[in-house]
Chain A
Amino acid sequence: MRFGVLQFPGSCDERDAIAACGRVGEAEMIWHESTDLSGVDAVVVPGGFSYGDYLRVGAIARFAPAMEAVTRFAADGGPVLGICNGFQVLCEAGLLPGALLPNEGRKFLCRQVDLEVVSADSVWLGATEPGQTLSIPVKHANGRWFAPDQTVDALEEAGQIALRYAAGQNPNGSTRDIAGVTNEAGNVMGLMPHPEHAVDAALTGSADGLEIFRSPALATA
């Protein structure tokens, strides 16, 4: 499994994402001006502050040449994972439902949270079971996932709610404690928490993030 990790001006978690992908496969960096995804089996859109988060988080990055390639890759069923800013970019690009708003409490948050796997049907959670808890850190100022009620009802019905914050741990006021969602086909997933920062128990106390990076290889096996 070869991962391609996008890098925008203002990305800051792409190196951790490369290191995390490197634990389960191979990984290469893809500059935002490149449209070449040949040889890549899965794409990670990493965290950070792409294009300075100007205008609105993720709003400008979605127009990057690399995102055109990612949109085609996703339409062909290729696995795409958006982490934090990457989640915001995928929502802005229309590859995932909803939008990310400023945290309810206005503060930038950086803390370890427990996530509950709601649906393990997607390409990115195949290594997990519904109900399983993953301990993964969040670090964001704009992590309040929002979608209108009828949209959320439909997503729940369709199994597109992938991850929730564990009871009492919603850090940002997101709708129905939702931490991560998938597209209809289940090959694109976005989440605010950072699985790439939870791949080495000795370093950060949890390696639960590896479950996510391990999953796409299981789906193609």
Chain B
Amino acid sequence: MKARVLIRPKEGILDPQGKAVERALPALGFEGIDNVRVGRLVELEADDPAHLESLCEKLLANPLIEDFEIEEIEA
């Protein structure tokens, strides 16, 4: 299967990258944008999707500071 893993900073954890983007927006004329959070997107192909969850917990994300979602994009 082909899958997409979306990893983002956990709720409540300061995301300096998101803050920097948020602060840059008014200078470009984009008003009213709040709570910008920057994460990572990992695309992969897996022979056996059963391992995806544990692979995410062990390597792709650090569950202490990040949440992740696995999205199947092609069986």
Contacts and interface: CB of A to CB of B under 8 A. Distances in A.
B61 to A, nearest CB: 8
Contacts, number: 32
A148 B17 CA distance: 21
Given A103-B16, A105-B16, A146-B64, 20 more contacts: A55-B40, A55-B59, A56-B62, A59-B62, A63-B59, A98-B64, A99-B64, A99-B65, A101-B13, A101-B14, A101-B65, A102-B16, A102-B17, A104-B16, A106-B17, A106-B20, A144-B14, A146-B65, A148-B64, A173-B14
A65 to B, nearest CB: 16
Contact of B60 (A55, A101, A144): A55
A144 B64 CA distance: 14
Contacts of B59: 55, 59-60, 63
Nearest to A106: B16
Interface centre among B13, B16, B17, B40 (most CB of A within 10 A): B16
A26 to B, nearest CB: 35
Main secondary structure of the interface of A (DSSP, over half): loop
Interface of B: 13-14, 16-17, 20, 40, 59-60, 62, 64-65
A60 B59 CA distance: 8
A101 B17 CA distance: 11
A92 B62 contact: yes
A12 interface: no
Nearest to A60: B59
Central interface residue in B20, B59, B64, B65, by most chain A CB within 10 Å: B64
Contacts of B60: 55
Contacts of A98: 64
Contact of A147 (B14, B40, B64): B64
6 contacts: A59-B59, A59-B62, A99-B64, A99-B65, A101-B14, A104-B14
Contacts of A63: 59
A92 B20 CA distance: 26
Interface string A49-82: 0000001100110010000000000000000000
